[in-house]
Structure 1
Amino acid sequence: MDIETFLGARAGVARASTLREAGFSRTSLDKALAAGRIVRIRRGIYSAPREAGVLALALQHNALLTCLSAAPTYRLWTLHEPSSVHLSPGHRRTPPGTLTHGRCLHPSHSWLPVAGLADVLIHALRCLPEVESLVMVQCAAQSGDISLDFLRRKLPGNRNARARSVLDYVIPRADSILEVLADYHFRRAGLHVRRHVELPGVGEVDFLIEECVVVETDGDTHLEPGQVKRDRKRNNATLIGGRLGLRFGYDDVVYHPERMVGQVLAVLEQARQGAFGAR
């Protein structure tokens, strides 16, 4: 494994001791530094060039990365790359072009200029659009790194009502960002949704809506030839089992959720009117 791959699996940053334990000698580190493949952001800490910029900025201003800018450190799901660096400067000023968050109230990362997970998520819930903060919290909560009850206690009062409402959309299990977002949009539309439902002859489906329409959310793996064949069989089995089926991809769920929900509602309305015959 080369050093870039190793760093990439660790949010782009590692201590020198960690690199040496992985088999990278001091000579190999010096060569990688000279070639610009890695960057030393401070004594004993190395980074991929891409991550070095924001970490160095935080160190330069004695601030902590937080919110969306800290998500890679904790391997949290995100929808978009941050357009600005999110910093928690304490009582200091941050450079122009950055997004300033309040001071951190919980222990920060043990060796990086990054806020602790609790502050990262609290800042995200207060700062980001609902769906963007939701996927970050979902990732942390379902991995057991933080509890929803803890976050609710940290978000008291009317001023945090919108942030707390996002927590209501965290689900016990999500296999992908698409499931989180689709569930959010379906429930916001007032639909009765069951997730990960086992159907005879079909297997587990992502969603069963109003006990009538099966909805599957397809990531990139569903474009692979073998998976296409399996999905086709599942589609047929869904119809044979007496239920209607719809499939939505990344573009539908992330960029056109209103259209996705509209299509589900249209199928439900046609079913109510008997367009598909009696079930």
Structure 2
Amino acid sequence: MKLTSFLSARGGTAATAGILRAGFSRRDIDRALAAGAIVRFRRGHYGLPQDPSTYRAARELKGLLTCISAAPSYGLWTLVPAQTLHLCLGHRAVPAGAVVHGRCRHARHDWLPVAGLADVLLHALHCLPELQALVMVQCAVGRGDISLEFLRGKLGGNRNGRARSVLDLVIPRADSLLEVLANTAFRRAGLHLRRHVQIPGVGEVDFLIEDCLVVETDGETHLEPLQVKKDRWRNNASVVGGYLVLRFGYADVVHHPERMVAEVLAVLELWRRGAFHP
């Protein structure tokens, strides 16, 4: 493997120790530097030329990415990409435009300039808007990467009340960020619902509300032709089975949750008035 390929696989940057552990020699580093294939942007740290990655920025600033800036490194769900660098810094100088979090208290990422998952989530819980923090935590907890009990144990005291309230919104299973957001919206509207219900002749549905209304949350995969046909068949089977059906996409759930809830409430009110009865 070429040194440039190694750096590319490591997010574009690496420290000398990591390069040597990968089997390269100092002569390999010197040759790549002389050829302009890599650059030394800080003592003991190398990267690809003209690489704008956040990893390089973190190494240049002698910090670790955290909070939403570290979400891609762990494959965590996010509602919006990071608009600025969120960093843990071991010094007091604060880069212009960066968001600086407290020091990291847990083991960092093995080879990237990224804080450990526990610190990333704890910082997100204190920093981000409620739902943005929720989807990150839901993703990590749902995959079994970390437990709610561990996070709660780190959030004692009155000053952590808001962060603990976000943990209360995490559900045992969510197949997409849309499910956890829709669940939060429906619960706050006072609706009685069940998740991942098996309906004979239909299969598993995302939500069954008030035991009469099936609600499905559709991500991008539901726009694929085969999935569209499957969803149409499931809709028909649900109606034949005696259920009402509503489907909501990404824009509905993420950007217009109030409208989504209003439509659900409107259908339920019509059902109560007998609009769908003979």
TM range (shorter): 0.7 to 0.9
Q: Measure the CA separation in 2 of the matches of 1:48 and 1:201.
A: 57
8 A Cα contact 1:41 1:55, kept in partner: no
Structure 1 residues 191 and 128: alpha-carbon distance in aligned structure 2, compared to 1, 3 A threshold: same
Structure 1 residues 162 and 217: alpha-carbon distance in aligned structure 2, compared to 1, 3 A threshold: same
1:225 Cα offset (Å): 1.6
1:258 Cα offset (Å): 0.8
8 A Cα contact 1:70 1:115, kept in partner: yes
Specify the alignment match of 2:123 in structure 1. Answer: 123
Q: 3-state DSSP class of the match of 1:73?
A: helix
Structure 1 residues 50 and 70: alpha-carbon distance in aligned structure 2, compared to 1, 3 A threshold: farther
Q: Measure the CA separation in 1 of the matches of 2:123 and 2:87.
A: 10
1:207 Cα offset (Å): 0.7
Pair 1:255-2:255 in alignment: yes
Specify the alignment match of 1:55 in structure 2. Answer: 55
Structure 1 residues 246 and 92: alpha-carbon distance in aligned structure 2, compared to 1, 3 A threshold: same
Specify the alignment match of 1:101 in structure 2. Answer: 101
Matching of residues 142-181 of structure 1 within 5 Å: 142-181=142-181
1:169 Cα offset (Å): 1.5
Structure 1 residues 6 and 113: alpha-carbon distance in aligned structure 2, compared to 1, 3 A threshold: closer
Normalised TM-score (structure 1): 0.84
2:240 partner letter = I
Q: 3-state DSSP class of the match of 1:216?
A: strand
8 A Cα contact 1:196 1:204, kept in partner: yes
Structure 1 residues 262 and 60: alpha-carbon distance in aligned structure 2, compared to 1, 3 A threshold: same
Q: Measure the CA separation in 2 of the matches of 1:244 and 1:9.
A: 49
Normalised TM-score (structure 2): 0.84
Specify the alignment match of 1:135 in structure 2. Answer: 135
8 A Cα contact 2:12 2:55, kept in partner: no
Structure 1 residues 154 and 255: alpha-carbon distance in aligned structure 2, compared to 1, 3 A threshold: same
Q: Measure the CA separation in 2 of the matches of 1:247 and 1:5.
A: 44
Structure 1 residues 116 and 198: alpha-carbon distance in aligned structure 2, compared to 1, 3 A threshold: same
Q: Measure the CA separation in 1 of the matches of 2:192 and 2:9.
A: 39
Q: Deviations over 1:214-238 (max 9, x none)?
A: 0001111111221111111111111
Structure 1 residues 34 and 171: alpha-carbon distance in aligned structure 2, compared to 1, 3 A threshold: farther
Q: Measure the CA separation in 2 of the matches of 1:107 and 1:44.
A: 20
Q: Deviations over 1:257-278 (max 9, x none)?
A: 1111111111111111111117
Q: Deviations over 1:187-213 (max 9, x none)?
A: 122212211110011110011112121
Specify the alignment match of 2:205 in structure 1. Answer: 205
Identity %: 62
Q: Which runs of 5+ in 1 are unaligned?
A: none
Q: Measure the CA separation in 1 of the matches of 2:73 and 2:41.
A: 15
Q: Deviations over 1:133-167 (max 9, x none)?
A: 11111111111111000000101112111111111
Specify the alignment match of 1:68 in structure 2. Answer: 68
Q: 3-state DSSP class of the match of 1:229?
A: helix
Larger Cα-atom Rg: 2
Q: Measure the CA separation in 1 of the matches of 2:4 and 2:186.
A: 40
1:112 Cα offset (Å): 2.4
1:127 Cα offset (Å): 0.6
Greater mean deviation of Cα atoms: 41-50 or 82-91: 41-50
1:247 Cα offset (Å): 0.2
Structure 1 residues 187 and 45: alpha-carbon distance in aligned structure 2, compared to 1, 3 A threshold: farther
Structure 1 residues 215 and 87: alpha-carbon distance in aligned structure 2, compared to 1, 3 A threshold: same
1:49 Cα offset (Å): 6.5
1:30 Cα offset (Å): 5.3
Q: 3-state DSSP class of the match of 1:227?
A: helix
1:58 Cα offset (Å): 2.0
Structure 1 residues 18 and 236: alpha-carbon distance in aligned structure 2, compared to 1, 3 A threshold: farther
Q: Measure the CA separation in 2 of the matches of 1:158 and 1:48.
A: 48
Q: 3-state DSSP class of the match of 2:254?
A: helix
8 A Cα contact 2:12 2:56, kept in partner: no
1:110 Cα offset (Å): 2.4
